[in-house]
């Protein structure tokens, strides 16, 4: 399987995580952009870190108290699987434990023995018992009559703190801390990585994030489990949208999210390498001769260039992601027929003569439906799409089909297309390339047509043309 080069992102993240002040880190990127793959590559065989990973997707169905326990469970399970963790085990012999037991339970041991002494034993035991209870009552009275406002204040704080911490502070917490500390030796840091936050139900994402935030110690800037670093993996922009939808657009999101990272958010952006990956992935599609000829893959044709550009734009607008790109080589185009359809009037459409049909069919397969494709192309019109930079070239692929009702498919014919935005037509010459592909040529100076009929003066939106073409081909049941 083809792999995407992430070396530049790995180097940037290495610098980010090695910053001693980066105790809490957010790795942000769109869902499906390859964040998990990237982090797996970074930590695989990395001798500088011990990694503990959590996947809190299933925490949504749990109460807050249960989430605390689930975190402990998952962390402890990961520690048990780590051969580097040293669990403390000490043996105390009976003599030593016997001494300790007698010291702590002396009166309870002696009392039944005293009661066995004839005549005075029971009375002595009863008196001793009464004296002990009276002594404890006096000590309590003595403490109560003292005036110590500082102690009263600190006792109240301890009481509230213990009540809040009772769910999370226990022997298991101490065991986890000790185990993590045993890993953090020889300059090797222990990292807690919380992945798949993108998959959590929006109704529960903030509740779960708040549980994790309670593990941050605001006074020491550390965390309660003694991890050296904590990494949250998510799409911050998606969480921002959910936040504003839930709490209102005027509520400060930055003030909420800031506590989850120490310095700045690491924004995973591998789009440049992914764009190069798109080109290689297209070439891996299992297509037959009709498919390969239609796209002109080997020749680097304008239709191939259009497909690369539209996929880049769909990637930038998050209509496709890394997982979709990896699936391109599995697209079922090994049995593409040359003839696509017959139109009213007798025109027969060939995929090899009109490769834009193959591109549309491929995009429908990638996005899942014609409806999604139409929505995506419509959305791209509001975006600085890369296809617009070559509008004349790409319009040349579409116009022979868009004008098929008004114009015959005869090479060399001068055709017209009505532009509703300008409320007038523009002209083009229909010609057939050496690869037998119909194309619209806008170089009409030799034909004596006035500039007002020229394509450039109309400033055509090629994505709007593409949208019209998809709708027309759908109407004629070509796609």
| Rounded Cα gap, residues 235 and 199, in angstroms | 10
- Confidence (pLDDT) at 374: 95
- Confidence (pLDDT) at 451: 47
- Confidence (pLDDT) at 39: 94
Q: Would you list the domain boundaries of the chain?
A: 7-83+166-267, 271-475
| Rounded Cα gap, residues 27 and 268, in angstroms | 7
| Rounded Cα gap, residues 459 and 395, in angstroms | 11
- Confidence (pLDDT) at 199: 78
- Confidence (pLDDT) at 390: 80
Q: At what angle do helices 462-475 and 370-380 cross, to 10 degrees?
A: 160
Residues of the chain with pLDDT under 50: 121, 138, 141, 145, 164-168, 451-452
| Structure tokens belonging to residue 73 | 């469970």
pLDDT digits (tens, 9 = 90+) for 164-178: 444 445 556 666 666
Model-level pTM greater than 0.85?
no
> Residues 68, 73, 76, 81: is their CA dihedral positive or negative?
negative
- Confidence (pLDDT) at 112: 64
- Confidence (pLDDT) at 423: 75
Beta-bridge mates of residue 28: 234, 267
Using left for φ > 0, alpha for ψ between -120 and 50, and beta otherwise, residue 2 falls in: beta
Domain spanning 7-83+166-267, CATH architecture: 3-Layer(aba) Sandwich (3.40)
pLDDT digits (tens, 9 = 90+) for 135-189: 565 456 455 545 555 565 556 556 655 554 444 455 566 666 667 666 666 678 8
């Amino acid at each position: 399987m083809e792999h995407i080069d992430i070396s530049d992102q790995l180097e940037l993240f290495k610098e980010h995580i090695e910053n001693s002040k980066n105790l809490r880190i957010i790795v942000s990127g769109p869902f499906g952009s390859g964040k998990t793959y990237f982090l797996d590559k970074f930590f695989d065989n990395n001798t500088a870190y011990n990694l503990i990973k959590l996947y809190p997707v299933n925490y949504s169905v749990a109460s807050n108290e249960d989430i605390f326990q689930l975190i402990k469970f998952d962390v402890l399970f990961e520690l048990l699987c780590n051969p580097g963790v040293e669990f403390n085990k000490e043996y105390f012999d009976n003599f030593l434990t016997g001494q300790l037991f007698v010291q702590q339970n002396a009166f309870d041991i002696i009392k039944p023995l005293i009661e066995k002494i004839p005549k005075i034993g029971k009375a002595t035991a009863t008196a001793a018992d009464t004296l002990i209870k009276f002594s404890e009552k006096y000590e309590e009275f003595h403490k109560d009559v003292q005036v110590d406002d500082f102690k009263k204040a600190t006792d109240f704080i301890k009481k509230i703190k213990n009540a809040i911490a009772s769910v999370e502070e226990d022997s298991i917490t101490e065991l986890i801390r000790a185990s993590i500390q045993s890993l953090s030796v020889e300059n090797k840091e222990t990292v807690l990585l919380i992945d798949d936050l993108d998959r959590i139900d929006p109704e529960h994402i903030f509740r779960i994030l708040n549980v994790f935030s309670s593990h941050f110690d605001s006074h020491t800037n550390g965390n309660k489990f003694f991890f050296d670093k904590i990494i949250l993996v998510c799409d911050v922009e998606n969480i921002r949208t959910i936040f504003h939808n839930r709490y209102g657009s005027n509520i400060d999101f930055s003030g909420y999210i800031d506590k989850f990272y120490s310095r700045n958010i690491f924004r995973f952006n591998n789009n440049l390498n992914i764009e190069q990956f798109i080109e290689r992935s297209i070439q891996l599609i299992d297509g037959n001769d009709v498919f390969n000829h239609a796209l002109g893959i080997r020749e680097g044709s304008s239709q191939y260039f259009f497909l690369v550009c539209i996929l880049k734009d769909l990637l930038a607008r998050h209509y496709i992601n890394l997982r979709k790109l990896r699936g391109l080589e599995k697209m079922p185009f090994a049995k593409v027929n040359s003839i696509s359809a017959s139109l009213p009037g007798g025109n027969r459409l060939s995929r090899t003569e009109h490769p834009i049909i193959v591109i549309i069919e491929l995009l429908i397969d990638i996005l899942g439906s014609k409806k999604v494709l139409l929505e995506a192309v419509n959305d791209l019109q509001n975006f600085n799409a890369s296809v617009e930079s070559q509008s004349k070239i790409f319009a040349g692929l579409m116009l022979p089909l868009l004008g098929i009702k008004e114009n015959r498919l005869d090479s060399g014919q001068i055709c017209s297309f009505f532009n509703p935005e300008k409320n007038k037509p523009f002209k083009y010459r229909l010609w057939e390339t050496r690869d037998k592909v119909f194309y619209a040529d806008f170089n009409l100076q030799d034909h004596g047509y006035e500039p007002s009929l020229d394509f450039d003066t109309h400033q055509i939106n090629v994505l709007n043309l593409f949208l019209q073409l998809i709708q027309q081909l759908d109407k004629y049941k070509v796609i």
